[in-house]
A and B are shown apart, each in its own frame.
Chain A
Amino acid sequence: MKKNNTRRSFLKNVSIASLSAVALTGCSLKELDQFFQKNFRTLSKKEVDQIIKDLKVEYKEKYGKEFHVSTKPATEGILFGYALDLSRCIGCRRCVYACVNENNQSRDPQIHWIEVLQMEKEKGIDFAHSDAYYNPVKVPEKGHFYVPVQCQQCKNPPCTKVCPVKATWTEPDGIVVVDYNWCIGCRYCMAACPYGARHFNWGDPEVPAEEINTEVHYLGNRPRMKGVVEKCTFCIQRVRDGRYPACVEICPVGARKFGNLLDPESEVRYILENKRVLVLKQELNTQPKFYYFFGV
C-alpha cells in the first residue's frame, strides 16, 4: 500500500483522470484548442493564420459554404464616423434587415443591431416615450419622427472599460469590436452601454445556410456562438475594404452618411462643418462618432 503512494503514481493517476475527464466531455482537440485560445490582440501572425484556417473548416462543415474570413487591420490616418439625417429618416426599417443579412445576426432568437425608435414631434428626442414596435401600414406617420439607434462607436466608450477580461476594445480606426472567443458573457458591457447597442446570444444563434454571408471579418460578422455579446461594427468587413456599410447602401431616403473623420473632403466632415448636428445623451460624455443631423 505504502509503496503505491509515490509521486510517480500520483502524477500518473492524475493525468489518467484528467484525460478521461476530457474524453468524457466529448471535447475534440480542436475545441480544446479553441478553449485555450488567447486574446486576439496577443496572438502572433502564425497563430492567427492557424485559427482562420480552422474557422474556415468549421464554417464549411456547418454551412456547406466557403468562407472568406478577414483579419484586415486598420489603416493609418482613418477614423470612421457616421452621420444620420433625422429630417430624412422615415422609419421604414430597411436598414435593420440589411444589417441582419450582412452581419449574420441570429434570426431565432432574434437579434437586431439597429433599433428604430419612433418619437413624437411634440416631445422631441425623448427615449422614455419612444416606441420601437410601431407597425402602421405606411410610414412616416403624421406627427412623428424616427431615430435609428445602433452602436455609437464612442470615443470614450463605457462598455470597453467595464469588460473584466478585455474582450472588447476600440480599434485604431475607431471601431469598437468584440473578440467573441475571449468574451465570457458576463454582460457588464450591456449594462454599461447607455444606447442599448450591445446584444447577447442567449441561445445558439440560428442563421439559415442559404442566407449566411460568407464575406466575414474575425472581429465583426463571423458566425457567433451562444453566450457572447455582439454589436454593430460599422460593417468592419466592408468599410476596411473601402465600401459603405450595408445600412448606408440600403437606405431608400439617403439619410445615412459615412466616411473618414480625418479627411476634410469627406461627406461626414462636410456635415459636421455645415449642418446642425447632435449626439445622443451628450451629457454622459461618451463622445459618440455617430452624429445625428438635420439636412433639411
Chain B
Amino acid sequence: MKNENHIRIKIPLQYITLILVLVWGWGCNNKEKAYNQRLIKNKVSEETNKPEEYAVEAPPFSEGIYPCNDCHSEIVPNPDKRELVDMHDDISAMFNHDRKNRWCLDCHDMNNRDSLRLASGKLIAFEESYKLCGQCHGEKLRDWKVGVHGKRTGEWNGKKEYLLCVHCHNPHAPKFKELTPEPPPIRQEKIQQPLLN
C-alpha cells in the first residue's frame, strides 16, 4: 500500500512540471509574437509620378574655361577633324572615347559652344548631358534612370540625389580610373595583445 501511494504522488508531479514548462514556453512565444506586432503604420507614398527629366547640377568646369563663347564667339569655327595644338591640347592628348571616329564637334555644337548637340541637331545644356551619352549608351541610360547604373544617395524610399554620367566618367576618357585600395584587414593570427586581461 505504501508503495502504491508513493507512485500515485509521483506521476501528477511529473505532469505538473510538464504543464508548467509548456505554459512558460507558451508565454515566451506570445511575448515574441507581440514584439513582432509592434510595427509602425506604413504611410502610402505620395510620389507615384516618377520624374521624366533629371535635373542634376553638372560637375564644375576647369577654372576659367566657361562660358566657352567668351573666346569662341570671336573665332571662326573650323569643322575639320584634327588634332588640337594650341588651346585644348590637353584634352586632345588624353581623348580616348572612340578616338578613331569621333572628335570635339560630335558632342559640342559648332556655332554655340556653350551647348552640347545631339545627333539630331538639337541643342542641350551641360546639365542634361546624360541625354547625349544615352544616344550611344542606351542601355546604360535605361539602367541609370531606374537607379541601377550609377550611384544614388539620400533616401531609399524618398528624395534621392543622382549623379550624372560625367560625375564618374570623364566624357573625354570615360573609362573608370583605377583607385588605391584602403588597407587590408589585420590577419587573425596578428590580433593578440592585451585581450586576456
Contact = CB atoms under 8 A, between A and B. Distances in A.
Interface stretch (A3-11, A16-24, A184-192, A252-260): A252-260
A270 B182 contact: no
A137 B180 contact: yes
A87 to B, nearest CB: 10
A193 interface: no
Contacts of B153: 244, 248-249
Contact of A270 (B148, B154, B155): B148
A266 B187 CA distance: 38
Given A41-B32, A41-B35, A254-B151, A260 B156 contact: yes
B36 interface: yes
A77 B39 CA distance: 10
Interface in B1-52: 28, 31-32, 35-36, 38-42, 50
Given A42-B31, A139-B178, A140-B178, A110 B185 contact: yes
B121 interface: no
Contacts of B181: 91-93, 134-136, 138-139
Nearest to A258: B156
A102 interface: no
B72 interface: no
Contacts of B179: 90, 92, 138-139, 252
B185 A133 contact: yes
B40 A244 contact: no
A275 interface: yes
B143 interface: yes
A183 interface: no
Chain B residues touching A, majority SS: loop
B184 interface: yes
A295 interface: yes
Contact count band on B? 35 or more
Nearest to B36: A172
Interface stretch (A26-34, A56-64, A68-76, A209-217): A68-76
Contacts of B138: none
A251 B176 CA distance: 13
B31 A78 contact: no
A251 B150 CA distance: 10
Nearest to A83: B148
Interface of B: 28, 31-32, 35-36, 38-42, 50, 143, 146-158, 163, 168, 176, 178-187, 191, 193-195
24 contacts: A41-B32, A42-B28, A73-B39, A74-B39, A78-B42, A85-B148, A90-B178, A91-B181, A92-B179, A92-B180, A92-B181, A109-B191, A115-B185, A133-B185, A133-B187, A136-B181, A138-B181, A202-B195, A243-B155, A244-B155, A251-B151, A266-B156, A267-B152, A295-B149
Given A90-B178, A172-B39, A258-B156, 7 more contacts: A42-B28, A74-B40, A76-B40, A77-B42, A110-B191, A252-B168, A270-B147
